[in-house]
């Protein structure tokens, strides 16, 4: 690994024990979990959502499925993620007041209390320049979330000729100043 940063122990997930675990990059905001794949044949795309699916995350605390967020886990900087449904994780439903988050950078999952979530629009107060400078996984996560956000906004993300990392850094710094 290129960068080694001394870190606090990683926070254990606030869920039932994972089905399988594997070593993880210290830059990752979660304990690595390999979700069981969702079998496409079990989902009938012609039927509407069941009442059970529609009730997910309807606790009037915000942060619905698909929303881009910042999540905070002990020992890590605020990290960008996307709110996902429990069925994407291959695990059980999240408890009331919590959300399943798929983290950008490594696509791993965690259950996070809504009190530890902020909307992506909080970028200027949550982005951590020191972590961005030192941890490739955080850089990757920032780039990925900005790509998704720019696609959703139908805006063109500044291209990085030759995928030069310094150009990517400049694009993120420009976004951070806006």
- Confidence tier at 171 by pLDDT (50, 70, 90): low
Q: What is the pLDDT of residues 42-88, one digit of tens each?
A: 444 444 444 444 578 988 899 999 999 999 999 999 999 999 999 99
Is this structure's pTM higher than 0.75? no
d(CA 151, CA 136): 23
pLDDT at res. 66: 97
d(CA 82, CA 89): 12
Angle in degrees, CA 21, 131, 122, rounded to 5? 95
Whose tokens are 């030192």? That residue is 134
3-state secondary structure of 135: coil
pLDDT at res. 58: 86
Angle in degrees, CA 28, 174, 68, rounded to 5? 45
Length of the chain, in residues:
178
- What are the residue ranges spanned by the domains of the chain? 122-177
Lowest-confidence pick of 33-37, 54-58, 118-122, 163-167: 33-37
Q: State how far Cα 146 lies from the chain centre.
A: 12
Q: What is the pLDDT of residues 117-129, one digit of tens each?
A: 999 999 999 999 9
């Amino acid at each position: 690994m290129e960068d080694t940063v001394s870190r606090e122990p990683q926070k254990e997930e606030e869920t039932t024990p994972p089905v399988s675990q594997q070593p993880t990059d210290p830059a990752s905001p979660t304990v690595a979990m390999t979700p069981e794949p969702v079998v496409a044949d079990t989902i009938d795309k012609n039927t509407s959502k069941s009442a059970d699916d529609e009730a997910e995350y309807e606790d009037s605390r915000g942060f619905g499925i698909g929303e881009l967020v910042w999540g905070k886990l002990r020992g890590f900087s605020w990290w960008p993620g996307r709110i996902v449904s429990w069925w994407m994780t291959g695990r059980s439903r999240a408890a009331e007041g919590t959300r399943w988050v798929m983290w950008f950078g490594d696509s791993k999952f965690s259950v996070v209390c809504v009190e530890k979530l902020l909307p992506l629009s909080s970028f200027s107060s949550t982005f951590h320049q020191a972590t961005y400078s030192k941890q490739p996984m955080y850089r990757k996560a920032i780039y990925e979330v900005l790509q998704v956000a720019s696609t959703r906004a139908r805006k063109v993300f500044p291209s990085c000729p030759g995928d030069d990392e310094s150009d990517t850094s400049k694009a993120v710094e420009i976004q951070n100043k806006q």
